[in-house]
């Protein structure tokens, strides 16, 4: 069933953040996005020039309209509009026990504009009591008291602290869990992507987490996948506007598989003899070359994000088909229980993929793998691709 995500947040007229970023994220991850708009903003990549809060009664009416008819599998809360709306939404959520809630405590836009006053921030306490996970950045965490572990204890919710505002070449996000079965603290670190196209990163991350929770990924896995989505969308940014530009949600198509057992076909490798001649041939077909490792290997990208490779390695005597799995180890364990034999169990390869190898009944080579960001953005990607 298509996951149903209810987004309670403000509208960004420039399309980079808020409801617009949320809808793009949910759509690209295969969900159905519903909205309860809490505020209308006039903004672009340079800043916010106007904010019009939606009356609390209308926010509640939007929520009720969605829930009573379509239903909901997860909720994402962003810009809340007013203290009264925050309190009313928290009360309304008591009617939806067991539904995962991701609360992004939006206070300030990327441009620096204030989107929540002191009274609204104080009312966040009630929303945190209902949340599954709260996702503050470092300034927001400071406004909430500065201690993630104290928030976990006080509100019995997980806290994901986003590290993008810290200095340095590496961005580290930390999750403090409220679930005794999870590690108390989990950390993810990645090289910082140097770009001004950061508008809507927090909105996108929280909506992607909601999508993961809606299809019953556990919280750490939902966060891991959401972070990957944000990073690829940042890399795909179209370069619009003169300030903090929007990300490229529309270009993130095959990079996240939200299913355990439905692998995606998105990589085929065929043998080559003269790499340069084969490179030219496939470029003429219209494929965009993204990796060049002459004289051994080259990779191309097709419309939609699927990749196609050519290789002169002696090991490639025929086409090899790659299927990317949502959870490689779970998929392989299931197939082995069904009697499928593997030539190689899941293994971390030197090029950054985790891969398992097998053959179909006709002897064709099939590989199941997980690559994520490494599939399209390895360190050796062609510079202008």
Catalytic residues: 162, 198, 200-203
Check if the beta carbon of residue 19 is closer than 8 Å to that of residue 35.
Answer: yes
Chain mean position to CA 327: 16
Sheet strands (E) in the chain: 4-12, 32-43, 48-53, 74-77, 101-103, 133-134, 158-161, 170-176, 185-191, 264-271, 288-293, 297-301, 307-311, 320-324, 344-348, 354-359, 365-370
For strand 344-348 and strand 320-324, is the pairing parallel, antiparallel, or unpaired?
unpaired
Rounded distance between C-alpha atoms, residue 376 and residue 385, angstroms: 10
Chain mean position to CA 296: 33
Q: In what order do the strands lie in the sheet with 320-324?
A: 288-293, 297-301, 307-311, 264-271, 320-324, 365-370, 354-359, 344-348
Check if the beta carbon of residue 255 is closer than 8 Å to that of residue 229.
Answer: yes
User: How many other C-beta atoms are found inside a 10 Å radius of the C-beta of residue 280?
Assistant: 12
- Is the bond into 363 cis (omega within 30 degrees of 0)? no
Helices 83-93 and 56-69 cross at an angle (nearest 10°) of 20
Check if the beta carbon of residue 133 is closer than 8 Å to that of residue 162.
Answer: no
Q: Which two tokens stand for residue 250?
A: 């529309």
What DSSP assignment string belongs to 161-206?
EB-TTS-SSEEEEEEE-S-TTS-SEEEEEEE----S--BTHHHHHH
Nearest CA to 263 out of 331, 346, 365 is that of 331
What is the phi/psi pair of residue 111, to 5°? -75, -10
Check if the beta carbon of residue 7 is closer than 8 Å to that of residue 36.
Answer: yes
What is the phi/psi pair of residue 297, to 5°? -155, 145
């Amino acid at each position: 069933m298509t996951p149903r995500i209810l987004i309670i947040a403000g509208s960004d007229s420039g399309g980079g953040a808020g409801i617009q970023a949320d809808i793009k994220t949910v759509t690209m991850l295969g969900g159905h996005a519903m909205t309860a708009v809490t505020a209308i903003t006039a903004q672009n990549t340079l800043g916010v020039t106007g904010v019009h809060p939606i009356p609390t009664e209308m926010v509640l009416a939007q929520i009720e309209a969605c829930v009573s008819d379509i239903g909901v599998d997860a909720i994402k809360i962003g810009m809340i509009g007013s203290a009264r709306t925050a309190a009313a939404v928290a009360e309304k959520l008591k009617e939806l026990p067991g539904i995962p809630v991701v609360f992004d405590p939006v206070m300030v836009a990327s441009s620096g504009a204030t989107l929540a006053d002191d009274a609204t921030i104080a009312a966040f306490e009630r929303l945190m009591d209902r949340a599954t996970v709260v996702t503050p950045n470092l300034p927001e965490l400071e406004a909430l008291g500065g201690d993630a572990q104290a928030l976990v204890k006080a509100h019995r919710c997980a806290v994901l602290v986003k590290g993008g505002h810290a200095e340095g070449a590496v961005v580290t996000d930390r999750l403090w869990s409220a679930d005794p079965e999870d590690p108390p603290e989990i950390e993810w670190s990645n090289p910082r992507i140097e770009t001004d196209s950061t508008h809507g990163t927090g909105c996108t991350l929280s909506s992607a987490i909601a999508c993961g929770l809606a299809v019953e990924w556990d919280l750490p896995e939902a966060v891991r996948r959401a972070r990957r989505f944000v990073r690829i969308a940042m890399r795909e940014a179209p370069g619009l506007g003169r300030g903090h530009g929007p990300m490229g949600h529309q270009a993130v198509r095959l990079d996240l598989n939200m299913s355990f057992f439905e692998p995606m076909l998105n990589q085929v490798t065929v043998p080559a003899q003269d790499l340069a001649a084969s490179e030219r041939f496939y470029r003429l077909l219209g494929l965009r070359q993204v990796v060049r490792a002459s004289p051994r290997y080259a990779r191309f990208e097709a419309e939609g994000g699927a990749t196609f490779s050519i290789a002169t390695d002696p090991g490639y005597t025929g086409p090899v088909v790659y299927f990317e799995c949502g959870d490689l180890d779970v998929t392989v364990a299931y197939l082995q229980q069904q009697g499928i034999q593997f030539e190689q169990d899941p293994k971390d390869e030197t090029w950054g993929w985790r891969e398992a190898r097998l053959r179909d009944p006709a002897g064709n080579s099939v590989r199941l793998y997980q690559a994520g960001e490494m599939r399209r953005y390895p360190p050796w990607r062609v510079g202008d691709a």
